[in-house]
Structure 1
């Protein structure tokens, strides 16, 4: 027979077992939370390093992307848009209903014949107005297409004649540099019959990260300052890559013999001590030479050796001012 004292002892033991079990579960939950937290930190570190590497790769490889070449012959052969004919589809339906209306026995009995005829006549007027609105929309679209066609035909004719004004109009029409943020801040053109001279106001040094991200053997994120030489070399690659890209975009639209790209950056003028826009790279790009390069594998800075160019660069000091290159 269980005594009161024994029952109390049994109850106390059960409570202690329950407390120990709750403590064990709490420790395991805390351990799992720490493990999940650690795994998330490792995952976040991996993503941060991946994003950093992707960005560094992007600023060195803007030359790899480019607009597909324009086929001016295909544009010239494009047929003139057809002028739309007046629309009467709704009018025909409404008119048939009015012409074929036959009053019923009840229409005659209750005198509603004229009322229904008036309603059908009103529907005919509404149908004519609806046809007119649709035609007006179609005609406006036709005029827009016609103006667009005429503009392109005019540009095409000028391109065939190698007219510099038509070169300018072509670039204005297609506007390949509407979003030049990855290449620079501003771009200016001077056109000639067989070449184009471009001033590219390049991005500042701020486009290059001054730090490196890596993941330690334990999975933690490591951030340290980027060596000055590495920083300058990345900026050099970015400037050269951007210059190649600008030339490629121009060649996609214009059948010119070469393009001179002048990369302008804010450099301290040693005479005045002030920051001024001055050339740090000037390159003459013939389209054939660019086409012969493997753009997916070139080092943008090293590839300048394939072209007539002026560039003064030092790993520790970066770019120095140069003169715009001339083609002898």
Structure 2
């Protein structure tokens, strides 16, 4: 027979066993939580380093992407849009339903024939309105297509005769630089018969990260200041890459002999002590030379050796003001 004292001892032992088990589970849960947190921190660090690397790669490789070239000969041969005709498809269907209506036995008994005829007649009128709405929509699209066709035909004819005004209209029509954030802040054009002179107002130094992200052997994120020489070289690559991209975009739309790209930056004028927009890179890009390069593997700064250019760059000091490279007379 179990005594009260024995029962209490058994109950106490059971409680302690439960408490020990709960404590063990709590320790294991805490350990798992710490492990999960550590894994999460490692994943976050990996993502941060990956994002940093991708951004650094992107600002050095904007020259790799470009619009597909426009075939102006194909545009010239494009047929004029056909003016739409008013169609009566919906009206015809509704009229057929009205004309083929035959009162049923119950229509005759309850006198509902006329109501149904009236309803079908209303549907005919509604169908006419629907046909008119569809025509109006088609005609509106036609006018837009016609306007675009006429504009492109005019531009195409002008480009064929090397008209600088048509060059400008072509770039305005296609607007390849509507979102130039990765290339610069503004672009100015001067159009000539065989070439274009472009001032690219470049992104500031703020667009270049002044730090480096790495992941330590323990998985933690390490952030260190980027060496000044590395920072300057990265900025140089970005400016050269953006300049080549501008030239490639222009060549995709215009059959010109070359483009001069002038990278303009706000730099202190040592004579006045004030910030002034002045050229730090000036390059003459012929399309054939760009096409001969392996754009996937070139170093943007080193690639400038393939072109007539002016650039004064120091790894320790960065860019200095230069004179724009001379255009052909």
What's the TM-score, normalizing by structure 1? 0.94
Tell me what 2:192 maps to.
Answer: 192
Tell me what 2:301 maps to.
Answer: 301
Q: Describe how 1:42-121 pairs up with structure 2 within 5 A.
A: 42-101=42-101, 116-121=116-121
- Using a 3 Å threshold, how does the CA distance of structure 1 residues 102 and 46 change in structure 2: closer, same or farther? closer
Tell me what 1:29 maps to.
Answer: 29
| Aligned residue pairs, count | 328
Tell me what 1:219 maps to.
Answer: 219
- 1:299 & 1:28 partners in 2: Cα distance? 53
Q: Does 1:125 align with 2:119?
A: no
- 2:60 & 2:310 partners in 1: Cα distance? 20
Q: Describe how 1:1-328 pairs up with structure 2 within 5 A.
A: 1-101=1-101, 116-328=116-328
Q: Deviations over 1:218-255 (max 9, x none)?
A: 11111011111111110000000000000000000000
- Contact kept, 8 Å, 1:308 with 1:327, in 2: the verdict is no
Matched position secondary structure for 1:184: coil
- 1:153 & 1:131 partners in 2: Cα distance? 32
Q: CA deviation at 1:106?
A: 6.7
- Contact kept, 8 Å, 1:49 with 1:215, in 2: the verdict is yes
Q: CA deviation at 1:17?
A: 2.5
- 2:242 & 2:58 partners in 1: Cα distance? 11
Matched position secondary structure for 1:165: helix
Q: Deviations over 1:124-156 (max 9, x none)?
A: 333222211211111111111111111111111
Q: CA deviation at 1:323?
A: 0.8
- 1:25 & 1:223 partners in 2: Cα distance? 37
Matched position secondary structure for 2:85: coil
Q: Deviations over 1:165-189 (max 9, x none)?
A: 1111110010000000000000011
Q: Deviations over 1:242-300 (max 9, x none)?
A: 00000000000000000000000111111221111110100000000000000000000
- 1:276 & 1:124 partners in 2: Cα distance? 72
- 2:117 & 2:32 partners in 1: Cα distance? 82
- Contact kept, 8 Å, 1:95 with 1:124, in 2: the verdict is yes
Matched position secondary structure for 2:267: strand
Q: CA deviation at 1:192?
A: 0.5
Ranges in structure 1 where 5+ consecutive residues have no aligned partner: none
- Using a 3 Å threshold, how does the CA distance of structure 1 residues 129 and 2 change in structure 2: closer, same or farther? closer
- Using a 3 Å threshold, how does the CA distance of structure 1 residues 115 and 46 change in structure 2: closer, same or farther? closer
Matched position secondary structure for 1:168: helix
- 1:212 & 1:102 partners in 2: Cα distance? 84
Matched position secondary structure for 1:147: helix
Matched position secondary structure for 2:223: strand
Q: Deviations over 1:30-84 (max 9, x none)?
A: 1111111111111111111111001000000000000011111111111111111
- Using a 3 Å threshold, how does the CA distance of structure 1 residues 107 and 24 change in structure 2: closer, same or farther? closer
- 2:115 & 2:28 partners in 1: Cα distance? 86
- 1:257 & 1:269 partners in 2: Cα distance? 34
- Using a 3 Å threshold, how does the CA distance of structure 1 residues 99 and 42 change in structure 2: closer, same or farther? closer
- Contact kept, 8 Å, 1:264 with 1:280, in 2: the verdict is yes
- Contact kept, 8 Å, 1:284 with 1:307, in 2: the verdict is yes
Instruction: Provide the aligned C-alpha RMSD in A.
Output: 1.9
